[in-house]
Amino acid sequence: MSEPTPVARLIGVDKSFGSHTVLAAVTLELPAGRCTFVAGPSGTGKSVLVRHLVGLLRPDAGEVWYRDLRVDQLDEQALLVLRRKCVYVFQHPTLFDSMSVAENVALVVKYHKGVKARVAESLARAQLERMGLSRLADARPPELPSGEQKLVSLARALALEPETLILDEPTTGLDPYAAFEIDAHVRQLKEQGVTLLVISHDLQSIRRLADEVVFLFDRQVRYQGGMQGFFEANDPVLDQFVHARVHGAI
């Protein structure tokens, strides 16, 4: 079977905040139609890495590509076009507290599709229904538990009908049932052929869903390859991470 074409590429990306270097010469490819997990200890720059893909951060050096677009050189207007194809869902549910759940989703639909508010609202409600979230449509985000807030964030992102979806720690802080529900939606997207990039520490999710795993450590990509290889790699750092050993380089 031939290797899938990469939908996004980072080439030699450096990123520092002040004197603190987070990424040093990071190179990786995101294969189209696959589910890639980015794992690594806390603070290794996983979120920083993926934020480059949607232009939320610009590299100090290196190149960021999404298909044939040079992302690090796009202006805000061009980034809007990119962000309709490649949607990023934050770690914390970034819902707008002053709006209901349906209005949160409708706002995105209205701007994305350029439809009137009433049409956007009915499309938003249809999106919520598809995800089994109709009961939450009129609730305000602060009234919801974090699991449901994350599901609504996912619904909002999916209303954009993205070809690539980036999920930043979608199951962190959730109870096992809510985490399983999120994973079920991710599996469904995977089956639909959506390219997925998931930042996660959740080894169960990685086992359930990952086609590829990228492991970040010490500002660089330590491992990129198949899921099986990730769990069986003969690398003390990966071994410590995978088996949650207290002593080691992490």
Partner 1 sequence: MALWITVGQMLSLSLWALLRLRLGGREMVRQVYETGNRSILFVGITMAFIGMIGVYELASTMEAVLPEYSTLGAATLQGLTREMGPIMAGLLLATRVGTGMAAEIGSMQVSDQIDAMKLCSVDPVELLVLPRLFASSIASLGLAALGTTIAFFSGMAVAWFGFSILPDTFMSLRFVVTGDLIMGISKALVFGFTVPLVSCACGFQASGGSEGVGKATTRAVVLSSFLVIVEDALITYIGEVLQ
Question: Binding partner 1 by CB under 8 A: which of 26, 38, 54, 155?
Answer: 54
Question: Binding partner 1 by CB under 8 A: which of 8, 38, 108, 165?
Answer: 108
Cβ-Cβ contacts under 8 Å for 224 (sequence gap 6 or more): 28, 212, 213, 214, 215
For residues 202 and 197, give the distance between their C-alpha atoms in angstroms, rounded to a whole number. Answer: 14
Q: Classify burial at 16, counting beta carbons within 10 Å of its beta carbon; exposed 0-12, middle 13-18, buried 19 or more.
A: middle
Give the range of 9-17, 125-133, 153-161, 230-238 binding partner 1 by CB under 8 A: 153-161
The residue behind tokens 């449901």 is: 148
Give the range of 18-26, 38-46, 87-95, 209-217 binding partner 1 by CB under 8 A: 87-95
Q: For helices 146-158 and 176-191, what crossing angle results, to 10°?
A: 10
Question: Binding partner 1 by CB under 8 A: which of 5, 20, 21, 92?
Answer: 92
Question: Binding partner 1 by CB under 8 A: which of 25, 111, 184, 204?
Answer: 111
Give the range of 20-28, 32-40, 91-99, 241-249 binding partner 1 by CB under 8 A: 91-99
CA dihedral 225, 228, 230, 234 (to 10 degrees): -110
For residues 89 and 51, give the distance between their C-alpha atoms in angstroms, rounded to a whole number. Answer: 10
Give the range of 19-27, 105-113, 179-187, 195-203 binding partner 1 by CB under 8 A: 105-113
Counting contacts by CB under 8 A, is residue 199 touching partner 1? no
Question: Binding partner 1 by CB under 8 A: which of 53, 87, 178, 186?
Answer: 87
For residues 158 and 58, give the distance between their C-alpha atoms in angstroms, rounded to a whole number. Answer: 25
Counting contacts by CB under 8 A, is residue 222 touching partner 1? no
Counting contacts by CB under 8 A, is residue 165 touching partner 1? no
Question: Binding partner 1 by CB under 8 A: which of 49, 107, 179, 216?
Answer: 107
Counting contacts by CB under 8 A, is residue 233 touching partner 1? no
For residues 26 and 44, give the distance between their C-alpha atoms in angstroms, rounded to a whole number. Answer: 12
